[in-house]
Each structure stands twice: as structure tokens, then as C-alpha cells.
Amino acid sequence: MARVVRSLERPPVLIGHSMGGLVVQRYLEEHHLPGAVLVAPVPVGGVLGATLRTLRRHPLTVAKVNLGLHLWPLVETPELAREHMFTPDATPEDTARHIARFQDDSYLTFLDMLVFRRPRPERVGTPVMVVAGERDGLFTIDEMMRTAEAYGGAPVVIPGAGHDVMLDPGWEQAAEAILGWLDRLEA
């Protein structure tokens, strides 16, 4: 990321979702930018809460994750994908279309987030916006509130949206909120 940012004519506003939100948070610890948007990011407290909630609901799935050393089992069925990534209202057609483009996330990165790589917002001087889905199946509104507060703000909560805010029917509301924030940032 650092190489791409350096190659740009002017510093960008970075936008990261979920694990990508963690990457942005960690980047900002060492670099100042005009702004950053974190969409359903890994919370400042890490992923232990999400891990324990998933373990309570799906112990066999979590066992598969740990035995296979990959995260795919969390979204390998339409039901699990809908629960974790979308809202219960997501249509089977939309869920199937999105799942077809999913890729496995790194198990080692997950372990790193669980134990070692929590964000350190006290090192960040960049203005940060946090966008959360009201019905996120991974991270709670409280976790998103603590994350936004750690960066000096409050989360923008998209009503009815799941973890993959940008793929839910309410994505336009999230996009409008981000654009409005960017306009105020530049003013």
C-alpha cells in the first residue's frame, strides 16, 4: 500500500473494509493522509469478540476453520454467508452472486488480528470515518462505536445493512454518507 500511495500525484483518502480496514488503520499509524474511511473494520479491540460469538453459534464451523487453517468455512454455505456478511433479508440470488466472488481470507492474518495486530488509534493523526452496518453479523455496533470513538468520532450506522455494507441494498446510503463526509473534509 505504501508504494502505491507514494506513487500518486497527491495523497489519497483510503477506504478499507473489514480486514482491509485493519490494513488502513495500521498504515495510518505511520503515515498521515487527508482522511480515511473504515467500513465495518476490524475493531480497535481486535477480533476476539467476533471469534467467541461465532464459536457459540457455530462450534463445528469454527473447528473446521482451525483444523483446515483457513476461514472459508465461515462463508461456505449461503446460510453462513448471509448470517456473517449480509442481512437475513438478502435474497438467495444476491447471496449466491456475491459468494461466487468471495475468496478465502488468510488464517494467519486472522491469528495475527486475534493476538498481535490490534489497531493503535493513539498513533493516528488522520481524520477517520467509521461506517457500520446495523445488522453486521461479525462486529457489533458497540465495537464500531468504540472504534469510531478511538478515532475521535461516532460511527455512521447504515440501517438494515450487514457486514458487507457495500453489497447490501442500502449501499447507496453508505456511499452518500461517505461522500458527504469527504465534502466536509475538503471544506
Phi and psi dihedrals of 6, rounded to 5?
-60, -30
Positive or negative: CA dihedral 59, 45, 146, 128: negative
Question: Measured between alpha carbons, how far is 176 from 114 in angstroms, rounded to an integer?
Answer: 32
User: For every one of its 187 residues, what pLDDT tens digit does the chain have, with 9 covering 90 and above?
Assistant: 889 888 999 999 999 999 999 999 999 999 999 999 999 999 999 999 999 999 999 999 999 999 999 999 999 888 898 899 998 778 888 888 888 888 888 887 788 777 777 889 999 999 999 999 999 999 999 999 999 999 999 999 999 999 999 998 889 999 999 999 999 988 7
Q: How far is CA 6 from the centre of its chain?
A: 24
SS3 of residue 72 by DSSP = helix
CA-based torsion, 179, 184, 186, 187: positive or negative: positive
Residue type, 15: I
- Domains for the chain: give ranges and CATH numbers: 2-45+118-186 (3.40.50.1820), 49-107 (no CATH)
